[in-house]
Structure 1
């Protein structure tokens, strides 16, 4: 089941974990500035699993990069626990579309890299890496190298590495997009289990409506460029243990609701690309 909700303002009594106010972003181009994000507000509570969907070019990844500290906003501000985000930080773990692992390091060394960079002892970093590899089901592969692993296993290592510094929030940029459907579905179940076990706050970028509904406590539907909120929903599917969830009438109805919103935005995005290639 999904129901409309406003993510523009805080929803609870506690301060939001992440808050964006009048956030916008423009990029220079030979023909003039291109506005990727229109000014908009966003509020994410502690423990939320927010999935962001929208047409290509709507600014989903730009939003994630600003929260990660890789980009600076053109206007507005983003705060984490009330503190302005001014650059990358260990309190934000990032997982990209590709594993972005160090091929010359073992799996264990990759996961231990973050803690070691933050001054954690070798022994403690290795112990933490072992615990996280066990969490993602890869403890038997600690001595392997990334090139010896499948794409799905590499993404599991990426998730473990992102968790290694015990971040306050996980930022995921279509981490399963390049995987085959069966592997993707298995890792979605794995990711939901990890989220339920750790209670982390997650922002997840995806083009898949099904993935968003399966994982999210909240779904943000973005409008075509310049990106902004088209609609937002609270979802209860992420708490379900029904193995046939995706075949249920409720899931199909929710998918149809979001699909109808995205179809109109995708058409707008296509016309915009044709006018301004």
Structure 2
């Protein structure tokens, strides 16, 4: 199984969100012809949510058998359930409330008002992942994992110069003293993300250009965590022109 890394450049944020939404619908329809159910990992952030909104508003969205999709999150903020800072709350507002998902297949990370402490919440989400794993695996293999990329190169809640990016013996970690507020979070670990069949990273803006350029140039994952992320089959960076400013021209794909 070969991995293919590609950088696809779009003219601006609206075009970027629309293009990723169209590719998602097409890929999901193709995969549902092959598999009874799919596992999709979602992200937050302005572009992550813009993509979900674009999927919702696509005329083709009603061609998807939404009840055959499981939804997961790469990370979330340790705040009360329903708080607008939570990635899952934003996803419900942008997409999930508007399509016929099976609520039993929407697997949100525990919230701060769940009655669990942060470490217990990490263990609980790890147990949920294990419940849907195949064979001896400890997590399902995500068919598509969406990730945003921070200006510092962080993905999910795995930050530069923090121990989280190097954790390999857990599927979910508790994050404390995050350099980006709020300070407490839950995050999937790098081995889980890298087990994904496809990793789709969506980023826009000139403040992301340096991180993207460094990642593609082979920077250390400890310095630039996104450099350590690679899907099993394919890793695609969907970017706008500003974010692509430091990408070598030979790495920009002419088409998907």
- TM-score, normalisation: structure 2: 0.36
Structure exhibiting the larger radius of gyration computed from Cα positions: 1
- TM-score, normalisation: structure 1: 0.34
Going by fraction, where is strand more abundant, 1 or 2? 1
